[in-house]
Amino acid sequence: MADDDLDEGPVVVKRAVYDAGMKLEAEVDGGASGPAFSNAEDKATACRAAGDTSGAAFWDEVFRFTMTRECVAAGTEIIILEEGETWDDDEGKVNQTPQESVAVSALEISKPRFPSVS
């Protein structure tokens, strides 16, 4: 029995990782050596060698994203997470992470900042 009903998607990726991966793919399409996932892996290795652990982690994510793009079927949905968003795999949807509000109510604005002097 052939397994041709593979559940390949969606591919979920953070915006910065997506943008970096697409830039690497465009560079390869423009004539740079590649494939893009190899270039991302090289960048991660260079970051590790330089002691840049956050850079290495970022380029590892780009590597996984670009490698995944090479392996999934054409037309597989890509979900790009913006800052503050998370993916709920069980529900199959993007969730907004509540962010601290810096809004000040009109009542707070109308309060005097200093006690009045009589």
* CA end-to-end distance (rounded Å), the chain: 90
3-state SS class at 47: helix
Contact call for residues 42 and 63 (beta carbons, < 8 A):
no
Digit-coded pLDDT (tens) for 42-62: 999 999 999 999 999 999 999
Digit-coded pLDDT (tens) for 14-40: 999 999 999 999 999 999 998 999 999
How crowded is residue 9: how many other Cβ atoms within 10 Å of its Cβ? 14
CA-wise closest residue to 38 among 52, 48, 49, 28: 28
Q: What CA dihedral angle connects 78, 96, 54 and 68, to 10 degrees?
A: -10
CA distance 74 to 64: 17
**DSSP alpha helix (H) spans, the chain:** 15-29, 36-49, 53-71, 106-110
Percent of the chain scoring above 90 in pLDDT: 56
